Amino acid sequence: MTTPVKKRRTAFIHCPELESFSYPPDCPFNSSRAGRTRKILASMGLLTGPGRSEVAPQPATRERILTFHSPSYLDALIAAESGHLDVEGLRMGIGTEDCPVFKGLVAYASLAAGATMKAAEVILAGEADVAFNPSGGYHHAGPSKASGFCYINDVVLACKKLVAVGKRVVFLDIDVHHGDGVQWAFYDSPDVMTISLHESGKTLFPWGGFEEEVGDGDGLGYCANVPLPPGTTDSAFLRALDAVAIPLIRAYNPDVIVLEMGMDMLAADPLAHLNLTNNAYCDAIERILACRRPLLAVGGGGYNVENTARGWALAWTVFCGEDGGWSDMSLGLGGVMLGTSEWQGGLRDPEQVPDPAIQAEVDRAVDETIRKVKLNVFPYHGLTD
Ligand SMILES: [Zn+2]
């Protein structure tokens, strides 16, 4: 007799208040994506059922935010929102095109960060195997720096919280942008291994995250960067994930995996140049779940709003082990209107059929990256090849 596979317990971290804020209309960052994701899942009945819960967050406290950010930076954010933006604030990136000041900015950023804190609490309390905050993933923010639509770095705060109670953490970032804020926060520490797959800094903000960035001091070898060329396809992305990220995660043997899954690697994202379908995200998540560690997942970027919400909803179905049932169903069955004119076949994108010449070119570049990363990082972990 075989033992039945234990059903994963999943927690969706969200509250209606998160939907009451918005970045300025001319800003590509759309905070309604989390609410849209929730709406899709609710209409499909996928937020309820055995092992599933919805958990409401509280705003991150000032004390919590100051475990990473400087008091002067937090005060500058608060001051900017009330109309006092000086040169020092601008120097910190506040009020720039990428980090505009808007009504409710501090409340939103604190609540979004609090939602990632709540995800960490749920994981630490053993109440869920996977906790997902689609409103999280502000991986660019620095201690005294707003950057790339990010003000409060919820990922760093959560990793610090986990480390403070003795957990070994892997941060795996598959947002299309390099996870610079998190990388630099733990660059000289072995407590958090950061692994970022992203479009190369040669062609995309934040213009870093190269193979040679591998950590420093005690953190040497605990940072891995996998820059991908424009046009990267599902198979090339997955080959890099399998060749580099999964072996490193297994070698490091973390207590918790923190996953940032910005949906801006998807084809036709208006801010980036990769060519993935959401099938690749599903396959990536399956491989991460196969590592059998508690998983704290956050959203991140994704500038095609409908594709992003659909991708995150699909990711949730994979977390819950429900994907098989939904991938082939028509939208009408769940009563869901996704608002996309491109594909009406369900949450999954159509299978990709890449141009062979482009595929060959992408494969060559990705193989060269894999070779470099293995050379630079694997020896620190007793990994060969
Ligand atoms: Zn991004």
DSSP track, 23-41: --TTSS--TTHHHHHHHHH
pTM summary value: 0.94
Q: Is residue 210 part of a domain?
A: yes
pLDDT for position 283: 97
How far away, in angstroms, is 134 Cα from ligand 1 center? 13
Number of domains the chain is built from: 1
Q: How many CB atoms lie within 10 A of CB 85?
A: 17
Q: pLDDT 10s per residue in the chain (385 long)?
A: 554 556 899 999 999 999 999 999 999 999 999 999 999 999 999 999 999 999 999 999 999 999 999 999 999 999 999 999 999 999 999 999 999 999 999 999 999 999 999 999 999 999 999 999 999 999 999 999 999 999 999 999 999 999 999 999 999 999 999 999 999 999 999 999 999 999 999 999 999 999 999 999 999 999 999 999 999 999 999 999 999 999 999 999 999 999 999 999 999 999 999 999 999 999 999 999 999 999 999 999 999 999 999 999 999 999 999 865 444 444 433 444 454 434 455 899 999 899 999 999 999 999 999 999 999 999 999 998 7
Please answer whether residues 52 and 10 qualify as being in contact, where contact means their C-beta atoms are separated by less than 8 angstroms.
Answer: yes
The CA–CA distances, whole Å, from 116 to 91, 120, 136, 137, 154 equal: 27, 6, 6, 8, 6
Q: Active site residue: 140, 177, 178, 198, which one?
A: 140
Q: Is residue 1 part of a domain?
A: no
How far away, in angstroms, is 259 Cα from ligand 1 center? 13
How far away, in angstroms, is 138 Cα from ligand 1 center? 9
Q: Which range of residues forms the domain containing residue 188?
A: 10-381
Please answer whether residues 201 and 208 qualify as being in contact, where contact means their C-beta atoms are separated by less than 8 angstroms.
Answer: yes
- pLDDT tens digits along 258-283: 999 999 999 999 999 999 999 999 99
Distance CA 300, CA 176 (A): 9
How far away, in angstroms, is 158 Cα from ligand 1 center? 19
Q: Is residue 152 part of a domain?
A: yes
CATH at 329: 3.40.800.20
Tell me if residue 198 is catalytic. Answer: no
